[in-house]
Amino acid sequence: MLNVGVIGFGYWGPNLARNFNQSNDTHLAMIADFSASRLALAKRIYAGVRTVVDPYELIRARDVDAVAVAVPVRFHYELAKAALEAGKHVWLEKPMADSAARCEELIELAERANRVLLVDHTFLYTGAVRKMKSVIDAGELGDIWYFDSVRINLGLFQHDVNVVWDLAPHDLSIMHFLLNRTPKSLTAVGAAHTGNGIEDMAYLNLDFGDNLVANIHVNWLAPVKIRHTIVGGSRKMLVYNDLEAVEKIRIYDTGINIGHDDLEDRRRTLIQYRTGDMLAPLVPNTEALATEAAHFAECVAENKRPISDGKAGWNVVRILEACEQSLKAGGQRVTLA
């Protein structure tokens, strides 16, 4: 049984606490939060769990094996670093840190201490994304041509990060997990409408080379909530709608066949449209956080590397940094090393 302490009982922390408390593999040992009202709520829900104001008291606690950090991103680095230096395993919310350099330092600390570092890219543990991964890896879609994703809604406005840092990590982590490739360059354009200079909408374009491109649209100012992804391949195309209750994934035997007219010495390309069946595969309905909590405990027990390890978290942050650079330069294309 892995004893876990949760730092932060605001927006996401309660979800972590609930899953660590309910899992057969973990035990919720402690909760830390600066807010007296949030701690009072935590005490009412988990009467037998110790609560403290000081997060470092939780980190120092001898009966805490792992620390889950669910606070604003500007505090991720210092709390995760302290936990790793105290010999704790670390569950770290996305984005992993506020710079790629700090991500690299945390990865090195975890490796030196032989501790598990998991970044909470929750969507990688959903039945839908795991099914998409198996379909793509099996070659059912053929060569992947594009990845298009839309993640928009009205709010929640953040005060310390823009919409790219807030919403795009979900799509970037899914994209990297599915494609297992890193973009060579990107552009990002956005706008800030509230007078604080923080972009509330943005469009990202990522070029992988070999005619593979990705487009991601994130927005806090949309009148409707949309969570929609299309992965287009040379054989079939896949549509993922996270808000769909039943058929979250649909695979379309739809595309084009490219030929040439020999009578005109191949000067004219012939495009034939192909429309076939639509398949909606069965997707497991297990809560992603429950799967992730069990995976975290398994990685600690067996000294395994998590699916969403520090390197996966670092890859997302370095893309976010490049997006920030492009935004500030008016949408100039940025090359990733």
pLDDT for position 267:
57
Q: To the nearest whole number, what is the mean pLDDT of the chain? A: 95
Domains and CATH numbers, the chain: 2-121 (3.40.50.720), 124-287+318-335 (3.30.360.10)
pLDDT for position 337:
82
Average pLDDT for 66-95? 98
pLDDT digits (tens, 9 = 90+) for 148-165: 999 999 988 888 899 999
**pTM to 2 decimal places:** 0.94
pLDDT digits (tens, 9 = 90+) for 14-68: 999 999 999 999 999 999 999 999 999 999 999 999 999 999 999 999 999 999 9
Question: Within its chain, how far is the Cα of 242 from the centroid?
Answer: 14
Statement: residue 266 has pLDDT above 80: no
Return contacts of 19-25, CB within 8 angstroms, 24+ apart: 19/287, 19/289, 19/290, 19/292, 19/293, 20/68, 20/293, 21/46, 21/49, 22/290, 23/290, 23/293, 23/294, 23/297, 24/294, 25/1, 25/293, 25/294, 25/297, 25/298, 25/301
